[in-house]
Chain A
């Protein structure tokens, strides 16, 4: 089974509108972290936002917020007031707790290509 599922291969959104990128995850660990990264066409991976499994509040970072629904195992990224510079690939990733000395890796979804239309 896929650990991270991103069901939207591509999205087109009008500039200034809000956009939600979907992410569902699968883990049996109680302690885990969820991350979103942005990859522009230049190729670098840019960290956007983090949500811990024990965090009671949804994470926010500027125009980015994470809609965390633990029971549904979803961690959707919401970008408010989209800008042309938001056009990029967006990856959802998970880090599971495991032992103290293992499971340090990030497992990534297949990504969503977001295109902002002027």
Chain B
């Protein structure tokens, strides 16, 4: 158990809908990262927050947004969902921001868009 929690574990929804994925980092970790794992794209970085502020952005679609709250939990919002958004979405956290800090991953949310 990494100490990172994600809810829900599974999510099935229809095209065009909007969903919210939630992540609670390990106690004391200030950085939260979101990744998408799909069969065709592999593991891709989406976005990072550090202590409530956006720190880095990857290939995140405009239909996707995220935020980190004062209690450090984070939410990833996916809207106008398409079939291609079906993937495993991971949240990870690290104690600080920098090259040497390992990221601990949550169990993931498996999103299926039908």
Contacts of A103 in B (CB 8 A): 56
Q: Are B105 and A45 in contact (CB under 8 A)?
A: yes
Tell me, in angstroms, the Cα distance from A47 to B103 when the chains sit together: 7
CB distance from B30 to the nearest CB of A (A): 12
Q: Are A52 and B110 in contact (CB under 8 A)?
A: no
Contact with B along A13-48 (1 / 0, CB 8 A): 000000000000000000111010100000111110
Contacts of B35 in A (CB 8 A): 106
Tell me, in angstroms, the Cα distance from A33 to B50 when the chains sit together: 19
Q: State how many residues of chain A have any CB contact under 8 Å with chain B.
A: 28
Q: Are A47 and B102 in contact (CB under 8 A)?
A: yes
Contact with B along A99-118 (1 / 0, CB 8 A): 00111111110110000000
Q: Are A47 and B100 in contact (CB under 8 A)?
A: no
Q: Are B108 and A32 in contact (CB under 8 A)?
A: no
Q: Which stretch in B13-21, B40-48, B69-77 binds the other chain?
A: B40-48
Closest 10 CB pairs of A and B: A105-B45, A45-B105, A108-B43, A33-B99, A104-B56, A104-B48, A44-B107, A47-B102, A97-B99, A50-B102
